[in-house]
């Protein structure tokens, strides 16, 4: 038996053993096949890129959710119609179907409810239902796109937001290196493995777990060491008016996190290493070493997935 055969056998053994050990891991891999309506998703994709949904026809959904930048916005806040500024950093639309609530403060329960929000927000797209329906029904392009699903009557706002929802449901970034690791297909390198073990040992996993590595709970920014509170941010307090909900936000997904700088609701961390240090200090109570920062950074980079099929 030659050295290459021995290496192959050892690798298969290690991967098989890893598969057994990882069966109870707190993070789940994204599915490689997803369920969505391709006809509706095609319409939603057209709408997502089209400024027809903004009052002055100057911006579209893509303006605030750059699909080449992790599905988020590289600016601290997004700009709406007439240059209006948002009041919080735009979260990613990738893998949003796996969030338990939508928006930082969870004010939308479903993706369709979320899609309705920016269209009607006066600082974002600044449209009303009548304007949206009139524009879409007057468009030959959308008459043709909606034809397979609208056999009689006019295109209405529910059909429009439903199409946007189907497109967002298709934005799943499967097959990251970490997903393949969880499936027992590859091994992490030393730095990535150390980073993942630190991620669990330090307590990051407490909030960033499950299929979306987050997106499934609300937590306070500054759980251990208080974090700067700014009056007016759309946190949980803005909805409940309960003091203990100040600076409480939906835990963001960490999938594709290496692509979606700047970080946090206030965009205060400009790069991933800074974000790691800030979270370790304020939410875990640790000042971590440079070596830990580097290994955590290496691990987080393994969460970058593949481009969704609908974008190819």
- Active-site positions? 124
Measure the CA angle with vertex 38, ends 33 and 39; round to 5°.
Answer: 170
**Per-residue buried b or exposed e for 182-208, using 16+ beta carbons within 10 Å of the residue's own CB:** bebebebeebbbbbbebbeebbbbebb
Rg for the chain (alpha carbons), in Å? Answer: 21
Q: 215 — alpha (psi -120 to 50), left (phi > 0) or beta?
A: left
Q: Residue 27's closest CA among 188, 185, 210?
A: 210
Q: Residue 44's closest CA among 161, 178, 192, 201?
A: 161
The kind and range of the H/E element at 240 are: helix 237-240
**Per-residue buried b or exposed e for 127-148, using 16+ beta carbons within 10 Å of the residue's own CB:** beeeebbebbeebeebeebbee
Encoding tokens for residue 69? 């930048």
The kind and range of the H/E element at 249 are: strand 248-250
First to last CA, the chain: 44
């Amino acid at each position: 038996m030659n050295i290459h055969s021995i290496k192959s056998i050892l690798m298969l053994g290690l991967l098989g053993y890893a598969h057994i050990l990882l069966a109870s891991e707190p993070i789940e891999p994204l599915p490689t096949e997803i369920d969505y309506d391709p006809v509706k998703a095609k319409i939603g994709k057209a709408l997502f890129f089209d400024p027809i949904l903004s009052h002055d026809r100057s911006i579209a959904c893509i303006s605030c959710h750059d699909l080449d930048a992790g599905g988020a916005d590289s600016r601290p806040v997004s700009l709406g119609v007439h240059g209006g500024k948002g009041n919080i950093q735009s979260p990613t639309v990738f893998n949003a179907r796996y969030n338990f609530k939508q928006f930082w403060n969870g004010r939308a329960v479903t993706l369709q409810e979320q899609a309705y929000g920016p269209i009607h927000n006066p600082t974002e797209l600044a449209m009303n239902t009548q304007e949206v329906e009139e524009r879409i029904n007057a468009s030959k392009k959308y008459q043709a796109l909606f034809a397979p699903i609208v056999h009689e009557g006019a295109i209405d706002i529910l059909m429009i937001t439903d199409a946007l929802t189907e497109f967002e449901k298709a934005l799943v970034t499967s097959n990251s290196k970490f997903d393949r690791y969880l499936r027992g297909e590859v091994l992490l390198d030393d730095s990535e493995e150390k980073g993942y073990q630190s991620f669990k040992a330090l307590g990051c996993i407490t909030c960033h777990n499950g299929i979306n590595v987050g997106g499934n709970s609300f937590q306070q920014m500054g759980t251990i060491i208080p974090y700067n509170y700014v009056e007016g941010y759309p946190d949980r307090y803005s909805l409940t008016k309960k003091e203990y909900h100040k600076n409480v936000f939906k835990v963001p997904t960490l999938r594709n996190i290496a692509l979606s700088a700047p970080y946090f609701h206030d965009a205060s961390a400009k790069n991933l290493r800074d974000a790691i240090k800030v979270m370790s200090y304020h939410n875990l109570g640790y000042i971590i070493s440079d070596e830990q920062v580097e290994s955590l950074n290496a691990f987080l980079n393994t969460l970058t997935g593949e481009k969704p099929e609908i974008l190819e």
